[in-house]
Structure 1
């Protein structure tokens, strides 16, 4: 079985039961140990709750090359 490394704490993970894989918005897979993965999941849930309250994705607001404002 292949071993993985936690992206946050750099711990080697040999057992799939202790591994959390997260697919980001860009389609990349990130691997965390169970502890770091739960912490990461908690941050995502808090962010989603904040977005649901305000209706805005403030951290993702940006500008297109044409100069017009865009929200993702």
Structure 2
């Protein structure tokens, strides 16, 4: 699953403002269309998405540390 996360590593939703840049999370439209995800069966897509979201939560926390 880490490979799928890394493959989408440049697909972040970012807010840039006067207080700085904040990462919101991955752009799921892009994730869903990625070949590694799109060719999975329905149940496996759900499982992989849950795993990806767990990685994403940790990454968002790390990226948004002040």
Q: Do the structures match in fold with TM over 0.5?
A: no
Higher helix share: 2
Higher strand share: 1
With CA pairs under 8 Å and 6+ residues apart, which has the higher RCO, 1 or 2?
A: 2
